[in-house]
């Protein structure tokens, strides 16, 4: 159906179109100067030493697992309340994902207590997902990682420029990945970024990104090299310059976009934060965050009721979503036998309402009116 208020909108205008056009006209459209410019923007805006553009966030997470040294026989702890890529990347390198539960319906990020509970002699790392752009409990997680000598990968695809105690998400663990998928805060259709402060990890990531080649095509075409070596087993995880050019324009818009999203969120929280029968995750957060999505969790409810409420809202012309089905319940992970009580409750009772900077006060009011009517009518 066609929705009057969609879940998200694409924050594109003539600037993205012009950037793509100019890149095409330049005669260089594969990985080249626009990728280098985008990487430098990440280095400057995140305050990190190294940034490596990637074809998508999944490939960046795959790369992160490789540079962290995960492999067959290793275990890596991760949440189940996430998109499957956060867990698939562990299996790509032959390691085993070990699912940890979330803190609760008010903080739907991985629980440090359950992380520590799940550590074994085989544990080599932790993949942390900052759900909705809100920070996980990174102090506790990094303390656990240091205690057990574990690598920490931040899946920060929801949280560009989000902060945790004055630090940008993605700069706290050993390395991090960001997504430029079509519905993300930074959108290029497909694309991603790997960041780290570790020189060795960055060097490995660059090799892995392009077949293990010691030099890339743009370097050779620019006269900086005439030949190359294959130094390791690599992949084709390169981002093209057309998408990089679009990402540059998106990144320029990002701070202003996030400031406006904060205002939209405040409208939601002011209206729904004290509503009986629901909880707004991270409602008490005071740090700057991306507000990638706006999740709500129904209390004392069921999956069937949640679905009926969504149908009611959809009938009013408002699109909703679910972030996310529990990964450990998917068929491909069923053999791991994970039991995550809080994750399973939240994934059965979460509703994602529209969130983007272009939402008007009238639209937010209409969404809240409709949502409130739905939870009162459908018991």
Active site residues: 184
Kindly state the DSSP code that residue 192 receives in the 8-state scheme.
E
Tokens of 75: 């275990």
* CA distances for 100 relative to 17, 80, 166, 342, angstroms: 42, 7, 26, 10
Find out whether 79 and 343 touch, Cβ atoms under 8 Å.
yes
CA distance 57 to 252: 20
> Which residues pair with residue 178 across a beta bridge?
193
Which H/E stretch holds residue 109?
strand 107-110
Kindly state the DSSP code that residue 321 receives in the 8-state scheme.
B
Tallying the residues shown for the chain, one arrives at 379
Helices assigned H by DSSP within 275-336: 303-315
| Residue 163 φ/ψ, nearest 5 degrees | -125, 155
HSE, CB side, 13 Å, CA atoms: give it for residue 246.
26
Short-list 2, 29, 3, 24, CA closest to 353: 3
Tokens of 54: 């990637």
Residue where the block lists tokens 């491909």: 332
Which H/E stretch holds residue 123?
strand 123-129
Find out whether 306 and 351 touch, Cβ atoms under 8 Å.
yes
CA distance 39 to 257: 20
Cβ neighbours around 294 below 10 Å, total: 26
């Amino acid at each position: 159906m066609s929705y009057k208020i969609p879940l998200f909108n694409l924050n594109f205008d003539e600037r993205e179109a012009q950037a793509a056009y100019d890149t095409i006209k330049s005669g260089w459209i594969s990985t080249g100067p626009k990728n280098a410019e985008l990487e430098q923007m990440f280095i400057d805006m995140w305050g990190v030493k190294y940034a490596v553009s990637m074809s998508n966030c999944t490939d960046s997470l795959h790369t992160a697992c490789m540079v962290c040294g995960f492999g067959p026989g290793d275990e890596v702890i991760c949440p189940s309340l996430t998109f499957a890529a956060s867990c698939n990347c562990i299996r790509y390198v032959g390691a085993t994902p070990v699912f940890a539960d979330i803190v609760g319906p008010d903080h739907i990020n991985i629980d440090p207590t359950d992380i520590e509970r799940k550590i074994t002699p085989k544990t080599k790392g932790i993949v942390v997902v900052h759900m909705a752009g809100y920070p996980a409990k990174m102090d506790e997680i990094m303390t656990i990682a240091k205690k057990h000598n574990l690598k920490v990968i931040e899946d920060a695809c929801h949280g560009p420029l989000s902060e945790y105690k004055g630090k940008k998400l993605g700069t706290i663990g050993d390395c991090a990945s960001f997504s430029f998928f079509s519905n993300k805060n930074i959108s290029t259709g497909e694309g991603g970024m790997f960041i780290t402060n570790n020189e060795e990890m960055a060097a490995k990531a660059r090799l892995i990104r392009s077949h293990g080649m010691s030099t890339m095509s743009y370097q050779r075409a620019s006269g900086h090299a005439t030949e190359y070596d294959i130094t390791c087993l690599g992949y084709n995880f390169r981002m093209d310059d057309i998408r990089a050019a679009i990402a540059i324009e998106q990144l320029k818009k990002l701070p202003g976009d996030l400031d406006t999203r904060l205002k939209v969120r405040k409208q939601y929280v002011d209206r729904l934060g004290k509503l009986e029968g629901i909880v707004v995750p991270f409602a008490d957060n005071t740090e700057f965050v991306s507000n990638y999505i706006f999740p709500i969790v129904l209390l004392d409810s069921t999956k069937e009721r949640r679905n009926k409420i969504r149908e009611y809202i959809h009938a009013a012309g408002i699109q909703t979503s679910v972030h996310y089905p529990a990964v450990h319940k998917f068929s491909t992970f069923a053999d791991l036998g994970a039991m995550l009580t809080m994750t399973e409750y939240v994934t059965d009772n979460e509703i994602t309402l529209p969130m983007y900077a272009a939402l008007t006060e009238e639209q937010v009011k209409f969404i809240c009116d409709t949502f409130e009517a739905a939870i009162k009518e459908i018991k």
